[in-house]
Amino acid sequence: MRQILLKIKYLGTNYHGWQVQDNAVTVQERLQDAVEEILGQRLDLTGCSRTDAGVHANEYCCTIKTESDVDCFKLQGGLNAKLPDDISVFSVSDVDLDFHPRYSCVKKQYVYKILNSRAKDPFLNGRALLYPQPLDVELLDRCAKDFIGTHDFTALSGSKCELEDCTRTIFDASVERDGDLVTFSVTGDGFLYNMVRIMVGTLLFINEGKIKPDGIRIILDKKDRAAAGRTAPAHGLYLNKVYYGGDVNE
C-alpha cells in the first residue's frame, strides 16, 4: 500500500465546492472520476479542507491510497488528460502512510481578489469581486493587522459553524493594490466556516464607514456575528497555499 499526494488547482465557478454531494457536481467527484479511469478503482480522496461553491484554489492538496505501482509522472499526465480544463494536477508525489492532508497541515493561506473599478473585466468575471467604490487600501491594510494573533473568531464565523472552540491563530494579514486589483491575503493555522469572506466583508464595512477603523478588536471581543460585516461573495476567494513540514511543500 502507498499513499499519493496530489496538488491541484481549480476554478470553482462550475462546482459546488470540493466535497462530493448528492445532486451537485464537485471537484472531488471530477477528480475521483479521473483517478478511476486510470487506476480502474473508485478510490477515496482525502482533502486538506472543504471549499464552498464558487471558491477557487491555487493549491489544494489531497491524497489517495492505492496498491497500484503507477509512476507519479505518468499519473499526473493521465489525470490532466482526463480532467476538465478548469481542474489541473500540478504535482504528484509519494508521501508516508501516516501523512494526512488536513491534520498534517501547519498553516494555510487564503487570498481574496477585489476588482476596484467602475468597469467590468471579462477576464476576471467570476474570479474577483467587482467593487466600484473608492477603496482606501492603506487604511484597510492597517485594520487587517488587527486580525493577527490568537483570538476567538466566533464573530467571524458563518451560521453553519457549530464548533465549540472557535479559537484560531492568524500569522499574517494584508491588503495590497496592483492597479485596479486589490488583494486581501491571510495566513493562519485554521479557518472557520466563511471566516475569510466575513473578514473581507468587515474590511469593506470599514471602508464604507459602517464600522470604525478600530472596530475589529471590538467585534472579536463581542463574539457576535451581527457586529461584523457582510459575508463577501464566494467567487473572489482562493485557497492559495497549504503548508506542511519537511519536503512536502516542495
What pLDDT score was predicted for residue 87?
98
> Is residue 224 annotated as a catalytic residue, yes or no?
no
Regarding whether 137 and 77 lie in a shared domain, the answer is: no
d(CA 177, CA 185): 11
Regarding whether 114 and 84 lie in a shared domain, the answer is: no
Question: Residue 232 has which C-alpha cell?
Answer: 463577501
What pLDDT score was predicted for residue 54?
94
Q: Could you give the 3-state DSSP secondary structure of residue 132?
A: coil
CATH number of the domain within which 8 lies: 3.30.70.580
What pLDDT score was predicted for residue 249?
63
Regarding whether 219 and 96 lie in a shared domain, the answer is: no
CATH number of the domain within which 179 lies: 3.30.70.660
**Helix residue spans in the chain (DSSP H):** 27-39, 72-82, 137-144, 195-207, 215-222
What pLDDT score was predicted for residue 22?
84
- Residue written as grid cell 500540478: 90
Q: How many domains does the chain have?
A: 2
Regarding whether 145 and 85 lie in a shared domain, the answer is: no
Residue 38 belongs to some domain of the structure: yes
Name the residue range of residue 196's domain: 107-242
What pLDDT score was predicted for residue 245?
82
Side chain identity, residue 52: D
Question: Last residue of a domain, which of 103, 129, 154?
Answer: 103
Regarding whether 234 and 116 lie in a shared domain, the answer is: yes
pLDDT means over runs of 10, the chain (250 residues): 97 94 92 96 93 94 96 97 98 96 96 97 96 97 97 86 83 98 97 95 98 96 94 97 78
Regarding whether 91 and 111 lie in a shared domain, the answer is: no
Q: Which of 52, 121, 189, 224 is catalytic?
A: 52
d(CA 204, CA 27): 30
